[in-house]
Amino acid sequence: MKKLENRILVMVAIIAVMSLLQSCSTVPLTGRNQINLLPESNMVEMSLTSYEQFLDTNKVSSNQNQVALVKRVGKDISIAVEQYLKENGYESYLDYFKWEFNLIESDVPNAWCMPGGKVVVYTGLLPLTKTEAGLAVVMGHEIAHAVARHGNERMSHSMLVQMGGIALGEAIKEKPDETQAIFSAAYGVGSQVGVMLPFSRQHEYEADKMGLIFMAIAGYNPQESVAFWQRMSENAGQKPPEFLSTHPVDGKRIAALQEIMPTAMEYYHKNN
């Protein structure tokens, strides 16, 4: 009996390893290998459900100038993303993107992008971004999380822990409520302010790097990113705003931005 149980465990382990190997992908621009066990189509489907629920329960801004600003910068970044993906062999990623940009009335300085390109900016962020380039820093960073499929990667890890042996593809069919709950927890859509739970530091640095390149391609000076993050840090005070709690600002982050800056500036000069 013990031998049979061991064989079963070995078989499960082999299947799990095969699943992981088949689910390996590469992050655009950085080239990092990652494990995304969930079909991106399912991620987009779940994001639409949560996104629509969020919009139903939050007030969309009626400030036409600010709304136009968010949509203009968002469009510029999205065009840059599409250009980069097409030119570098990731055109298939665009199958899942249907861009949408909304400005939400909230004092919280925050922004996020869900799988499929659904982007939300909070009005409380605009006094800190100050300029179009400042807003491009944030939107480029958040969109980079979606392009890099960080949400899929993080949710895959959560499902491995919470659902264990069940095949993740089957989990979506057999346990849709549980799967949606894990998605909501990963993105924090059901929380008070709709802010995502913290990405790993690796994901944050990766989104910084990608966002810097995307804003440069879009025609925004990437050097503005250092000034923006310094401004965010200075305005944090004793209690950091919600945006900073999920996007840590420190000397290492700014140093990392400055390290990639020469490459970003090459993209900027090439596209201006």
Contact 199/248 with Cβ under 8 angstroms? no
CA distance 216 to 80: 8
Q: How confident is the model at residue 237 (pLDDT cuts 50, 70, 90)?
A: low
Q: How confident is the model at residue 236 (pLDDT cuts 50, 70, 90)?
A: low
Q: What does the domain layout of the chain look like in residue ranges?
A: 24-270
- pLDDT: which is higher, 7 or 170: 170
| % pLDDT > 70, the chain | 69
CA 244 and chain centroid, separation: 15
* DSSP character at residue 6: H
CA distance 128 to 122: 11
Q: How confident is the model at residue 181 (pLDDT cuts 50, 70, 90)?
A: low
**Three-state secondary structure readout of 176-227:** HHHHHHHHHHHHCCCCCCCCCCCCCHHHHHHHHHHHHHHHHHCCCCCCHHHH
Q: Element (H or E) spanning 25, and its range?
A: strand 24-26
pLDDT at 240 over 80: no
pLDDT at 196 over 50: no
So what's the pLDDT on residue 271? 86
Return the minimum-mean-pLDDT range out of 142-151, 175-184, 261-270. Answer: 175-184
* DSSP character at residue 89: T
pLDDT tens digits, one per residue of 60-70: 999 999 999 99
pTM: 0.79
What does the mean pLDDT of the chain come to? Answer: 79
Q: How confident is the model at residue 192 (pLDDT cuts 50, 70, 90)?
A: very low
The identity of residue 30, as a single letter, is T
Return the minimum-mean-pLDDT range out of 77-86, 103-112, 135-144, 180-189. Answer: 180-189
Return the minimum-mean-pLDDT range out of 36-50, 147-161, 253-267. Answer: 147-161
